[in-house]
Amino acid sequence: MAFARFSTNQQKFPLVYDTAWKGLVSSGSYITGDAGQDFGNSYYNDHHFHYAYFIHAAAIIASLEPQWLQLNREWVDLLVRDAANPSISDQYFPFSRAFDWYHGHSWAKGLFESADAKDEESSSEDAFFAYAVKMWGRVTGDPSMEARGNLMLSLLARTLRNYFLMQDGNTNHPAEFIANKVTGI
């Protein structure tokens, strides 16, 4: 199965644990010296976006092949912990690396400098990450994780509607911006 290349960490640039910022990162930037390798993954850029595809695919595979879940759960759980750790006492991963519970959405760009601060970059991939967390929680029988995914989806729905997808009558942005219907990066 193609997924095994990743769950056994045999891809071109295997994931490694970074002790400085406490997370799973691509070894690509360390090997090549290119900070942009693997879309900047070594610098925590877009972990929630990228890991969502693995988490969601894993949820689908596990729902079809329950024995696969037993062999791969730990690896997928690590991806979830890296981007959306629910524990403030976890010594290996920070609490909620990407999702900002106050603002109701995730931030992109990882450790990269940005003249205009961090950004939302992809609201659809942010929502997809929350959905992937929900589905992984469902298939693994973890009601807390499923509920966390649901809560993230609920917050995102409200936040995206009010601050990113500008409908007529939106009072959160200047009137001259509303005609654009969406915000820019």
From the candidates 18, 77, 100, 121, give the one annotated as an active-site residue.
Answer: 121
Q: Is 168 a catalytic residue?
A: no
Q: Helix axis angle, 66-84 relative to 143-159, nearest 10°?
A: 50
Q: Which of 46, 82, 120, 126 is catalytic?
A: 46
In the residue annotation, 90 being an active-site residue is answered as: no
Give the count of alpha carbons within 13 A of 145, CB side only. 22
- Residue 146 is a catalytic residue: no
Q: Are strands 23-26 and 15-18 parallel, antiparallel or unpaired?
A: antiparallel
Q: Please tell me the distance from the alpha carbon of residue 172 to that of residue 163, in angstroms, as a whole number.
A: 7
Beta-carbon contacts of 91 under 8 Å, excluding residues fewer than 6 positions away, are none
Nearest to 54 by CA among 151, 125, 141: 125
Calculated CA dihedral for residues 84, 87, 89, 93, nearest 10 degrees: -20
Closest CA to 69 of 171, 23, 138, 14: 138
Contacts 24+ apart (CB under 8 A), 12-19: 13/37, 13/38, 17/92, 18/42
Q: Residues with catalytic annotation?
A: 46, 121, 125
